[in-house]
Structure 1
Amino acid sequence: MGRWEPDAAGRLRRAAAELFGEQGLEATTVAAIAERAGVTERTFFRYFADKREVLFSDQEKFAAIFIDGVHSAPPDASALDAVAAGLYASLELFQPERRADSRIRNMVIAANPGLQERELLKMAGVADGMAAALRDRGVAEPSASIAARAGIAVLTSAFAAWLSDGETRELPELIAEGLTQLRALGGA
């Protein structure tokens, strides 16, 4: 076993994604994930509580990237522009080389209602965090919550398009398109 090799958590995530894609979530065992990653099962459990947790690890860090992006928007930015800053900050998580793994993750979640619910809760938590960041910037309710949830809707739509077969545009372009459409709806 290659326990001394760096980035055990990353190797476990990659191994899990590969196995989930090959045989599905239910048929994949922790032992198989650990073996493919070149670590022991004990090492797996140092990083993740169970195999489902591989799909949802680092939720706090995930949300913090969006929230920090909202906080870092220029002081005179509108609520929607601050949310856009949060969405663009998140792009570090969705690099082009991760598209294939993201497709597998999305496929696994789509096939499992319990995981779908957990994904929705994760994104609702991100929206709540962005709304709190907007309130910190002086945006009143319900505007803060509406802007944050609209931003998550833009991200969700752009992400689904990014993962669709045949899509060649990258996520920044799809987010920009979604923000343009959202702004157009506001002017309608």
Structure 2
Amino acid sequence: MDFRCPWCFALSVILIRLDLFLGGSTRHELKRDMACSELLPGQYKCSPPIIDKRTQQPKNCSLETLTARVECKPAPGIHCNGKLFTGHEVGFEKEVPCNFVSGYRFDSVLILSVFGGIFGLDRFYLGYPALACLKVATVGGFGLWYLWDIFFIATGTVVPANGSSFYYPYYDPPVTLLKNSNVTFHAS
């Protein structure tokens, strides 16, 4: 709208107030038959998962899908699944990601790599006994393999032999490997 003239601005304010007084236009009406699982973020709140103290992952983590289900409550006044919610009822369950953890600690393997990597202690710990024996026989691959392993363990490239993730507290930032693919953006 062009507000160069004062009466144009006043007219637009009057029209907006009249629209609100009459109940708003049809473009603002809510869809009444939507599923609660289709709500937008901010229209619901999910309870945090119950964390297993031994694995530091959600207790109901599925090893097949690597997800755990948490209960979500729609915000007060939200209408979904044919029901009006007050904010206290569970409306749906949402899946959150989790990891398969078998007890290998990232900090332990990094310390073993720095202080005992020349003797293959890091590879023994991670479950690679053949590589560890080779590393011992070559005194850390003449020092190069030792430095190479410190770098790759620190960046998360070397993982436990059983395919599990490293153990780290649930609310700490995880160690993730950054990958480059065809969809990676390269600024030039």
Q: TM-score normalised by the shorter chain: which range applies? A: under 0.3
What TM-score, normalized by structure 1, do the two folds share? 0.24
Q: Tell which has more relative contact order, 1 or 2 (C-alpha 8 A, sep 6+).
A: 1
What TM-score, normalized by structure 2, do the two folds share? 0.24
Higher helix proportion = 1
